[in-house]
Amino acid sequence: MMTLKVNGREHQVGADPDTPLLYVLRDDLKLNAAKFGCGLGQCGSCAVIVDGKAVLSCITPMVLLEGKQVTTLEGLGSVSEPAPIQRAFIEEQAAQCGYCIPGMMMRAQALLLKNSKPTDAEIRAALEQHLCRCGTHMRILRAVRRAARLMETTDASSTANRSAQ
């Protein structure tokens, strides 16, 4: 048994220490956001935040997480109280199938935590190891820029309908 801190709560987890975090999150803690995409650290779908940095949970064994703070997309906000990054992705309608999006959002959140005003090049560089197959890239970039703006302002305006373009 080891103690795993996820989204501010401590969990006693019985998984072997070599088990990658992804399976503990999905199987033991019943969290959906981190996705299995490749299991090889090649696509980014499984990204979560550990101690403020984005890591790929499919190749992060439990042994590395003793005493660390894991944050998943569920820990940022909810449908009723979305975090700025979630609001930004909803407002930009930045998803098609959406499978890669949670990983993208965690990477973006980690970037914005250390750099509140990233340039476009910095956003692209941060997302470079994340793959999207639907071609939602333009919206993802817009959503990250919007999240940066939202995080700056305290104004929490609602997720109103976007008007037609």
Partner 1 sequence: MNAPLILNRRRVLAGGGALIVSFSLTNAFAQDQAPAATPPLRRPGSLATTPYLDSWIRIDADGSITVFTGKAELGQGFRTAFQQITAEELDLPFESLEVITADTKLTANEGYTAGSRSMQDSGAAIQNAAAQVRELLVAEAAKRLDLPAENLRTENGAVISPDGRRLSYGELVAADMLHVQAQPKSRLKDPATLKVMGQSVPRVDIPAKVTGGAAYVQDMRLPGMVHARVVRPPSYGAQLTECDSSAVEKLPGVVKVVRDGNFLAVVAEKEFQAIKAMNALSLAAKWKESASLPKQDDLLNVLTHLPSQDFTILERGDPSVLSSKSIEAIYTRPYQLHGSIGPSCAVAQFADETMTVWTHTQGVYPDRQAIAEMLRMPPANVRLIHVEGSGCYGHNGADDAAADAALIARALPGRAVRVQWMREQEHAWEPFGPAMVTKLNASLDSNGKIAAWHFEVFSNTHSMRPGGAGALLAAQHMTQSFAVPEPKPLPLPEGGGDRNAIPIHTLPSARVVHHFIPAMPLRISALRALGAYHNVFSIESFMDELAGLAGADPVEFRLKHLDDVRGREVIEKAAQGFGWKRNVRPADRGHGFAFARYKNLAAYCAVASELEVNRETGRPRLVRAVAAVDAGQVVNPDGLINQIEGAILQSMSWTLYESVTFDDTRITSVDWQTYPILRFDAVPESVEVHIINRPGQPFLGSGETAQGPAAASIANAIANATGKRLRDLPLTRKRIKQAIDA
Partner 2 sequence: MPSRANEVGISVFKARSNNKFKSMNMTRSSRLIASGIAVVLIAGAAMAFAIVWRPVIPAIDPPAPHAFDPALIKRGRDLAAIGNCNECHTVRGGKNFAGGLPVPTPFGTIYSSNITPDAETGIGQWSEAAFRRAMRDGVNRKGEHLYPTFPYDHFTHVSDEDDRALYAFLMTRQPVHAPSRENQISFPLNQRPVIAGWKLLFLRRDSYQPDATKSAEWNRGAYLVEGLAHCGACHTPRNVLGAERKSAQFAGGDVDNWLAYALNDRSHAPVPWDADALYMYLRSGWHPAHGTARGPMAQVVSNLSSVSDSDVRAIAVYMADISGAPTPERKQEGEAALAQARSPSQASQTDTVGATIYVGACASCHETSRPLPYGGVNLALSTAVSSPDPRNLANVVLSGVSAVEGERSPIMPGFADSMDDAQMAALLNYLRARFSKQPAWIGVEKTVAEARRAVTIYHETSAGPRNAPADPTQRDKP
Residues that bind partner 2 (CB under 8 A): 16-20, 39-42, 50, 53-56, 59-64, 128-129
Query: What are the beta bridge partners of residue 53?
Result: 50
Nearer to partner 1, 19 or 69 (CB): 19
| Separation CA 136–CA 140 (nearest Å) | 6
Q: What tokens appear for 51 in the block?
A: 């101690």
Radius of gyration, alpha carbons of the chain:
16
Q: Are 13 and 62 in contact (CB under 8 A)?
A: yes
- Shortest distance, position 3 Cβ to partner 2, whole Å: 17
- Shortest distance, position 40 Cβ to partner 2, whole Å: 6
- Shortest distance, position 101 Cβ to partner 2, whole Å: 20
Q: What tokens appear for 14 in the block?
A: 């019985």
What is the contact surface with partner 1 in residues (CB under 8 A)?
15, 19-20, 23, 26-28, 30-33, 35-40, 42-43, 45, 72-74, 77-79, 82, 86, 89-90, 93, 95-102, 105, 123-125, 127-139, 141, 159, 161-165
- Output the furthest CA–CA distance in the chain (Å, rounded): 53
